[in-house]
Structure 1
Amino acid sequence: MFRAGSNFAASTIGSTGNVDLSRLSIKPNIVGTVNLSATSEYKILKTSEQQLFSGVSAVGPVTLDYKVVMAENAWNAGSYTTSLFLTNVAPPSISLNVIVPAFITINSTFAPASLILRITGLDNYRTGGGISTNNTFDYYTTLPTTVSIKSDSNFSFTTTTPKITDPSVISEQLSASLTSPSGKGLSPVTLSPTDKPLSIAAGIDITSNNLSSITTALAISAASLRNSFIQAGTYTLPITYTISKLGNAYAAGPVASGTITGAVKVEVPRLSEFVVPLNDINFNINTITAYKGGITVAMPDPIIISSTVPYNVSVKASGDFILSSGNTIPIGTVTIEGGMGQTGVSSLPLSITPQTIVASASPVIDRKIFLQYKIPASLTSNLLGKRAGIYQNSITFTFTAP
């Protein structure tokens, strides 16, 4: 017969209290010269007496096999002790010790090796936009743990599209947060070469089977996309997660941390949008002042341009300004130019040949270009002697991205 004492008591500072007897079972293997391994069965430890074996007539050493139940249990690092009492066996009691080592073992890696954050449209850059992805991995441990993250200082950049210069993007444009287990994450942190904690100070608890799973979110806000990720291409940042022992957990000495390394890639495709307002421009030349000093009329609304590659904008007119009766005003009488305070726009007389008014401009999101049309005082003479009426023309703007 045999029975156990009370539940396994934790005898190591830092472990988490008693362990139920049901986590361990025993069976007889050899009694004297009789081998029972093929016929005996494991029996779960209890405080009540149980039969260990019967029908055996033998004298000699007794060998017992012990089995620890791992499934569905969470084993905390430490030493656990109880007593085993035996009938008709000397000594009549022995001490049972279960020693759980302190360890952290990574069970998964980045798969694939890089996490992809992909721009899918220009709305990613606008209010309410941004991009994000999740990364889940797991690890075996007998310790409460903390999770931190670090990265290189800057994203590297490659592209096969036209560019003006390689963008320089610092790692702080990317943020990370711990989203699972629930309630264990801090507010999002920006990445840097210094390890930054993702988990709360109390750490992440040990779970059943001693297999912990965590999920992190990696994100770039719409504002950061506009600031740093406009040029089409691929931006790559190596990152490292570190799983460490919670500071006050057993054991007192150091325990090797686990690390998971990989990279985040931000993929920016060729995207463009060109919005030209359909407003009529009307010159009302009905005063002497207009003839003497010229006249300027601003477009009521701007042209709006978005492009992830360098671009050009050209303009042309359909021909001379024509009155319905056939009278004309020379096309070059009117100049198109940037509006008040507008930069990066050439001033050009209208022509039937396309002329570039915005040349080799850098990638941009929602750039507003204000334009105005002008008849300078030096050319108002082209209006003298013309029949009164409305002279019309059509203006065509063309956006090109090489």
Structure 2
Amino acid sequence: MRVAITCFEGDKVQAMFQKYASVLETLSVEQILPSDAAVLEKSMRPKKGPMVLKRFSVMDVHLLDPAVIEDLKKIILRSSFEDLTVAGSVLGKRSVPDYEVEAEALLEASRRAARHGGGGNKSSRNGGKNINNSSTNGTNGSGNGSSSKGKEAVLDDMACATAWGDFLLAIRSKLTHLSVWGKGTNLLLKVLDSRMSESMEMPLLDELSISGDWEQSLFECRWMEAILRSKSKQSIEAANATAAAASAAGVGAAVVSPGTGTGATVLTMPIKQLHLMDLTVQPSEWEQMLKYLDFSQITRFDVRQKNAIIHKTYQWFVEALPAGQMKSRCSIAIHDDGTLDGETILAYEDIIRGKACGQNVMIMVNGYHIFT
């Protein structure tokens, strides 16, 4: 059975969770109330029977109540998923259905009318001198208030990024797909940078999409370099060999799932989909990235950078494509600031087609399509 449930904060979904939790195959959680999350967690406990949930996604972690986050952690850490996605904008705002927007607009209009009436009465009671003093103080207060609000906004933004970081690291052993966009992306990357010993432990992560307000070039973010390096063919072979040896020797689990204490061996997965948008990638970073990625495993690769891609970098990219080993229907898109020209791109067309060996691969570079 396939059940799709769409709800907003305030909707009553407890009865649906109680009825359908054990038969859900796909579930996306966004803006759920603590009471509903508690019912969902309880309905998915092992004693209720085996779960069939295969795909689970959590949107906009920073907008969730702490109690909701704790219940979601419990569900995730005791389950196994084909796809566990965490996605959203680190500083995204809460969305509401139209009828709530209209009601809020009417309420705000009523509040403004009440404030306007109150202000008029106060002005009529006070003398001109008091009004002028109030105006002067208000100007000074406004300046201090603006500075204070600015600091509060920075603290609030960092709190949002920290909420994301804490959640990701708590469920890192289960995470398969991370997608982040919009403002605040750089703050989350800083959080992951600051906790490298934990943030590198994402063995199942095979889809990574990062876009937004990058403040650094690609590998100036230490986490990006480390996570891609850990997904290289050489690193995976070494890690999985160590895991197999430990298991065969009866030493115990090679990887203990964080937060669960269980001893299931977790094999590291390669990156299959990589999307990097609105950033700067230096030639040396391209060279390293191409060494880390295994294009025999890639199904989608999309890089949209703000600086130029030089001829040598494009040559490295073509050389990194494995002859006869690319996935069928693999899609690759690369865009720079427009510097890489069509003549350079199409000069390698025959080489790329030869490497594709008849596989249905689509490569687009700065708008130029190469079909194989």
In the superposition, the TM-score normalised over structure 1's length comes to 0.17
> Which one has the bigger strand percentage?
1
Q: Which has the larger radius of gyration?
A: 1
> Which one has the bigger helix percentage?
2
In the superposition, the TM-score normalised over structure 2's length comes to 0.18
